[in-house]
Amino acid sequence: MGVNKHLAEMFGLPPEDFLGKDIGFLRTGSEFRNFIENFFQRDLKDDSTEIFAHIDGKIRNYILVAHKFGQGESTFVVGIDNTERKQAETKLRRANDQLEAVLEAVPGMVSWISADLHYLGVNRHLAHKFDLTPQDFVGRHIGFLNSSLEFQDFVEKFFVSPHQEAFEEISSFTNDRVYTFLLVAQKYNQSKSAFIVGIDISDRKQAEAKYKNIFENAVEGIFQATIHGKFLTANPGMAKIFGYGSPEELIHDFNHNEHQIYADPEVKQQFLDLLITHHRVERFEAQVLQKNGKAIWILISAHGLRNNQGQVISFDGIIEDITEQREAKESLQRMNEELELRVERRTAELSQANEQLQKEIKVRERIEDALRNSEAELRVLFEAMTDVITVFDAEGRYVKIVNTNSEVLYNPPADRLSKRVHDVLPKEQADLFVEKIQEVLRTQRTVSVEYSVPVDHGSDEIWFAASVSPMPNRSVIWVARNITERRRMVNAIQKAEEKYRTIFENTAEGIFQASYDGAIISANPALVAMYGYQSEGELINALTDINTQLYVIAIVARKY
């Protein structure tokens, strides 16, 4: 019947081109036609709807409002273009969906709060923390949970302050546990509202507390330093090792007074070269200088920290003071050397016995080599050997007992096969067997051991010197030789030496030993007293030539 100019221009037509034509001639879609047909069929004066239409190749959205007139035989229809609003709603809905997805992905609790300290909204993570829904928070005061006065105080001060952003660590009591949160706040809506994110850092804070406790109370020195030798941090243990009253004093002295740490600068360079090359150093031994200049020995273990180019720029380190251990080791070594010297001088027979034992061991080693090459030779050698040969598994179980001539002296009965050493030997010997078996399997090296076993549960015992070697299938061969007589001989020699020492120390006669050139090697107390000296050392230092100093008559000296 008619259209306005705006509708006609939308389709590039004059208004008169619409008169008398079917409402579907524009081919914009069926929704408009369906609405009009249904409107005329219903007993309504007014109606409205929302439709989509294809115009100029684009989909447009319209709100239609219709009113009947002329006894309901005609209708007046107004169409309002709603496309932009629809697009805005779609974008808003999509933005809300994206925001919700982001909030759910945030690893913490998110809330929106108004300046009057009431919740505008929270994410599900925060709501679930308190077994509530997000809707339970809306409109309620931020203190309704009674979980943290620190949170409420932070928000109040934030809204009062002129700052648009703020952050702070707070504590919160939730589900019978104290949590630590890092709060980050941002104002919006002309500072009338705030967006706050809370990240749970409880585990990190606990870890920091544990590390700090270890750092502060460790006996070892713990430090951080640059590759150029500047200290960044140090614990009290580090300060104590270097003779300082506090870590601060140590750091200041090392960094500003150019304190020389290493006794040998080349050792320092060796340590740095290892660290730069391998990025890690384990138990590096070095001599360093304390505050007072005293030299001590330490072990350093360090881990390098690298920049983006992979270069070591700093390192974390642990220092252990091993001065006492090193001095004890050196002292023990000196004592051993002195003891060995005295044993060599005064136990010639024992030395000969040891040499004989070494010869026997070499013979046995040659025999063992021959055993590996020929089974026939093995039988012959076994018949000739007096050693006890047994094969054990990793648990100390008798796997094989080799028949040798050991029956003459001692041989374990065959019924021990498949039994464990703890089933047939006293606990002390059984523990020793298992220990040596495990050591050989672990190191894959031959181990020597001496031990004794009781004879028929009596007071007598037999001593053995055993060589334990690895074999395939996690087993070992135990070759033991009876050394009972040798031990008796050694004990007899020791007793004889003790007897000689008693006579040497307590006899009234003067006894001494001298070298061919007239120097006194040793002297007993009686001789020291005879010549009026206070000690053996004083006499030895004073009498360097007995030919001229000990004898009054030279001819007597030549006689002796």
pLDDT score recorded for residue 375 = 58
Q: In this model, does residue 382 exceed pLDDT 60?
A: no
* Cα 531 to Cα 178: distance, rounded to the nearest angstrom: 86
Tens of pLDDT, residue by residue over 404-437, are: 665 444 456 667 888 999 998 899 999 999 999 9
For residue 358, the Cα-to-chain-centroid distance in whole angstroms is 46
Q: In this model, does residue 377 exceed pLDDT 80?
A: no
pLDDT mean over 29-34: 88
Lowest mean pLDDT among 220-234, 369-383, 465-479: 369-383
Closest CA to 265 of 290, 239, 287: 287
pLDDT score recorded for residue 550 = 66
Q: In this model, does residue 72 exceed pLDDT 70?
A: yes
* Cα 441 to Cα 475: distance, rounded to the nearest angstrom: 7
Phi/psi zone of residue 63: left (φ > 0), alpha (ψ -120 to 50 degrees), beta? beta
Q: Which residues contact 112 (CB under 8 A, 6 or more apart)?
A: 119, 120, 121, 122, 193, 194, 195, 196
Tens of pLDDT, residue by residue over 472-511, are: 999 999 998 888 888 888 888 888 788 878 877 888 888 8
Residue 556's pLDDT band (boundaries 50, 70, 90)? very low
pLDDT score recorded for residue 555 = 46
Q: In this model, does residue 22 exceed pLDDT 60?
A: yes
Phi/psi zone of residue 518: left (φ > 0), alpha (ψ -120 to 50 degrees), beta? left
Residue 218's pLDDT band (boundaries 50, 70, 90)? confident
Q: In this model, does residue 542 exceed pLDDT 90?
A: no
More confident residue, 476 or 385: 476
Question: Residue 1, Cβ neighbours under 10 Å: how many?
Answer: 9
Residue 557's pLDDT band (boundaries 50, 70, 90)? very low
Question: DSSP strand E in 247-311: where?
Answer: 280-289, 295-306
Q: Helices marked H in 426-520 — which ranges?
A: 427-443, 484-506
The answer to whether 493 and 499 are in contact (CB under 8 A) is no
Q: Cα dist. 498→126, 224, 505 in Å?
A: 85, 58, 10
pLDDT score recorded for residue 361 = 81
Tens of pLDDT, residue by residue over 433-460, are: 999 999 999 999 999 999 888 876 555 7
Q: In this model, does residue 96 exceed pLDDT 80?
A: no
Tens of pLDDT, residue by residue over 329-356, are: 888 888 888 888 887 787 777 777 778 8
Which domains occur in the chain, in start order? Answer: 5-87 (3.30.450.20), 106-205 (3.30.450.20), 218-326 (3.30.450.20), 350-488 (3.30.450.20), 507-559 (no CATH)
Q: In this model, does residue 260 exceed pLDDT 80?
A: no
More confident residue, 363 or 290: 290
Lowest mean pLDDT among 136-145, 365-374, 400-409, 416-425: 400-409
Lowest mean pLDDT among 92-106, 168-182, 236-250: 92-106
Lowest mean pLDDT among 168-182, 219-233, 502-516, 539-553: 539-553
Q: In this model, does residue 397 exceed pLDDT 90?
A: yes
Q: Percent of the chain scored above 70 by pLDDT?
A: 89
More confident residue, 71 or 376: 71
Element (DSSP H or E) covering residue 170:
strand 165-174
The mean of the pLDDT values for the chain is: 84
